[in-house]
Amino acid sequence: MDGVWTWAPAVVGVAAGPLLARASVRLPGGAPPTRRRMAAFSAACAGLGLWAQMLHPGPFGAAGALMGWTLLLLAVLDAEHFWLPLPLTAGLIVAGLLVQAALGMAGLTAGAIAAATGFLALRLLAWAFRRLRGREGLGGGDAWLLAGGGAWVGWLGLPTVLVWAAAGGLAAVGLFALAGRRVGADQHLPFGVGLAAGIWVTWLYGPLSG
């Protein structure tokens, strides 16, 4: 049975990859995904499935693989289109709470508190930035994505998610600088990519303080 749980997410991930690749280009006027894109998604989904099972064997790891595939799709959509669709982020919240409920009432409570806290924290930050700078600093989807992450990692994991997300943002700025591209104060960066990575790493390895 352990062998089934170990390999099933990877096998399903290979099959799910082309579907996610198609979903990633489902925009008005979007071209069909290339074979290279579908192959990349399949490899990424298989890798995420194996990674989840290595650290969280069994049904919990299988559920985490589904979460990882959703985060992958969200990260690609945000990187390419600055778009975090509400059905995906809301689904992440619901799935996370269902998994927490299966683990016990304490986990469900922590997940619900974290989802609400994450959403309100980024909404408040976006409001404050808009009042101070007179323009948008965070997209509305970022708050929903952090809420989804909170549902999966609990309120103790939220600070770690934000630390990883901030580190990812700084790394992106550094890569732009190395490539000779100047990043201005008014340039929009896809913060959802960093959030997705932070949620995934925090779910796998736990809070930094832990």
The answer, yes or no, to whether residue 198 has pLDDT greater than 80, is yes
**What domain range includes position 135?**
86-210
The pLDDT score that the predictor gives to residue 42 is 96
90 and 50 fall within a common domain: no
Question: In the listed set 47, 81, 115, which residue is the last one of a domain according to the structure?
Answer: 81
54 and 93 fall within a common domain: no
50 and 76 fall within a common domain: yes
- Percentage of residues of the chain with pLDDT beyond 70: 86
Question: In the listed set 81, 100, 120, which residue is the last one of a domain according to the structure?
Answer: 81
11 and 65 fall within a common domain: yes
Count how many domains the chain has.
Answer: 2
Helix spans in 24-104 (H): 35-55, 59-81, 86-103
DSSP single-letter state for residue 58:
S
65 and 115 fall within a common domain: no
60 and 140 fall within a common domain: no
65 and 166 fall within a common domain: no
Task: Check: CB of residue 67 under 8 Å from CB of residue 152.
Answer: yes
The answer, yes or no, to whether residue 81 has pLDDT greater than 90, is no
The pLDDT score that the predictor gives to residue 128 is 85
64 and 26 fall within a common domain: yes
User: What confidence category does residue 5 fall into, taking pLDDT thresholds of 50, 70 and 90?
Assistant: low
Which of 26-35, 41-50, 111-120, 196-205 has the weakest average pLDDT? 26-35
User: What confidence category does residue 1 fall into, taking pLDDT thresholds of 50, 70 and 90?
Assistant: very low
The answer, yes or no, to whether residue 209 has pLDDT greater than 90, is no
165 and 94 fall within a common domain: yes
**Residue predicted with more confidence, 65 or 25:** 65
207 and 104 fall within a common domain: yes
Question: In the listed set 51, 81, 111, which residue is the last one of a domain according to the structure?
Answer: 81
**Residue predicted with more confidence, 70 or 180:** 70
The pLDDT score that the predictor gives to residue 35 is 93
92 and 163 fall within a common domain: yes
Cα 104 to Cα 100, 111, 113, 152, 184, distances in angstroms: 6, 11, 15, 13, 46
* pTM assigned to the model: 0.91
**Residue predicted with more confidence, 117 or 135:** 117
Q: What share of the chain is helix, strand, coil (3-state, %, to 5)?
A: 80, 0, 20
69 and 147 fall within a common domain: no
**Residue predicted with more confidence, 145 or 82:** 145
- Percentage of residues of the chain with pLDDT beyond 90: 64
Average pLDDT of the residues in 173-182: 63
Mean pLDDT of the chain: 88
Tokens of 83: 């778009």
The answer, yes or no, to whether residue 175 has pLDDT greater than 90, is no
